[in-house]
Amino acid sequence: MTTEPVKLIGAFGSPFVHRVEVALRLKRVPYELILEEDMANKSQLLLNHNPVHKKVPVLLHGDRAIAESLVIVEYVDEAFHELPLLPADPYERAMARFWARFLEEKCLEPLRTALFADGEAQKASMKEARESLAVVEEQLTLRGRRFLGGDAIGLADIAGGGMLAHWLGVVEEVAGVRVLSDDEEEYPALRRWAAEYRSCEAVKECLPDRGRLLSYFAAIREKCVSVANSMVRR
């Protein structure tokens, strides 16, 4: 099974696709990246392999199709045995999953509204995002290691690293909203973690060009605003 070809359906600018690319590169799994040209006009390949959500990333491994970035990352970790992304101990694995989920649900989710919505909802989301980042800051400080996963990058780092180390700066610029100030004294452990994340070879290989990312988000700004506002109404 491990010798069957691996393809990844992705789209430029997606931090979720980035997570899977990082995982594949860390595990030294060769893959073919198939980019969706226009997410407003999805390919039949994508619709066939992710009929439920119709989103990227989707991993194709032989005749298997897997969707949802963190589900894919765990699949890659379990299907390919080199360089584990999760520790062996069940309790440590539970901790890794906990932090991956926390980053996804409590940091990344509110950031969408914090950056692109307005009024009370924006203020509330910004507060939530910053409070959640403070929790991550505390955890990083407590553990005192290079990554949330320990000395090597792991699931939790993959879950939040891209967004915090690369995407956030770009999106802040496009949205005209700051989540993290320029003050280096604020969230020092988070900043160190972001630097560690960016210094990983596997990450460097698949981090999208900042200039291109900026143009991309500037072009979809309207869409981000309407998505954020529709989330608020719920």
CA distance 28 to 202: 9
Strand order in the sheet with 64-67: 32-35, 6-10, 58-61, 64-67
Per rule CB under 8 A, count of chain residues that contact other proteins: 22
135 binds other proteins (CB under 8 A): yes
158 binds other proteins (CB under 8 A): no
Q: Which of 4, 98, 134, 205 binds other proteins (CB under 8 A)?
A: 98
HSE-up (13 A, CA, CB side) for residue 26: 24
74 binds other proteins (CB under 8 A): yes
83 binds other proteins (CB under 8 A): no
Minimum separation from the CB atom of position 56 to other proteins (A) = 15
Dihedral (Cα; 168, 57, 208, 31), 10-degree rounding: 150
What's the full length of the chain, in residues?
Answer: 234
Exposed, middle or buried by CB within 10 Å (0-12, 13-18, 19+), for 209? exposed
Q: Which of 29, 33, 39, 79 binds other proteins (CB under 8 A)?
A: 79
Could you give phi then psi for residue 176, rounded to 5 degrees?
A: 70, 25
94 binds other proteins (CB under 8 A): yes
Q: Which of 8, 14, 21, 102 binds other proteins (CB under 8 A)?
A: 102
175 binds other proteins (CB under 8 A): no
CA distance 184 to 181: 8
234 binds other proteins (CB under 8 A): yes
For other proteins, the binding residues in 33-62 under the rule CB under 8 A are: 52, 61
31 binds other proteins (CB under 8 A): no
CA distance 233 to 227: 10
Minimum separation from the CB atom of position 234 to other proteins (A) = 7
Task: Please give the residue ranges that form the binding site for other proteins (CB under 8 A).
Answer: 52, 61, 64, 66-68, 71-72, 74-75, 78-79, 90-91, 93-94, 97-98, 101-102, 135, 234
